[in-house]
Amino acid sequence: MSVRRIAAAIAGFAICTSVFAEPRTVNDGVFTKAQAKAGEQLYGEHCLLCHDKKYFRPVLKRWESQPLGIMFTVMSTSMPESNPGFLNEKEYVDILAYILSLSRYAPGDTELDYEDGALNDVTVEPRQHKQ
């Protein structure tokens, strides 16, 4: 099999799996405890002055049905107010994981990923209560 055919097959598989992938929400354990812990430290250093810990529960309601990537973009391009874009992408994602944990979303086994538009594949939804 030629290199072109292999590349085409891989590309086709990637497209099919992304098109038919199960939609994910923030209820699917999309961040880890360790990631939220790292985000807590960063939040204390860069966010807490303007946003107390109770701030985000009502704010997340306004983001319902929206991709998490939009929230990430707003955060990474406009915060902290004194120096927007100061943090690197991983730091913003860690803070986002902490915000989700503050809002009582359950962590999972895989870190919240910011590469290749992965945050656009995760939708903000109301928190599901365990039964």
- Number of Cβ atoms within 10 Å of the Cβ of 100: 28
Confidence of residue 130 (pLDDT cuts 50, 70, 90): low
| Residue whose C-alpha is closest to residue 66's, from 9, 16, 13, 125 | 125
Q: Which residues share a beta bridge with 122?
A: 24
Summary mean pLDDT of the chain? 84
pLDDT of residue 62: 87
Summarize the confidence of residues 23-48 as an average pLDDT: 95
Tell me 110's DSSP state: S
pLDDT of residue 8: 47
Contact 119, 112 (CB under 8 A): yes
Summarize the confidence of residues 3-23 as an average pLDDT: 50
Summarize the confidence of residues 77-93 as an average pLDDT: 94
Which pTM value belongs to this model?
0.79
* CB-neighbour burial class of residue 87 (10 A; exposed 0-12, middle 13-18, buried 19+): buried
pLDDT of residue 1: 54
Tell me the two tokens of residue 39. Answer: 């985000």
Length of the chain (residues):
131
For the chain, list the domains and their CATH numbers. 24-123 (1.10.760)
Whether pLDDT at 56 is above 80:
no
Angstrom distance (rounded) from CA 114 to CA 116: 7
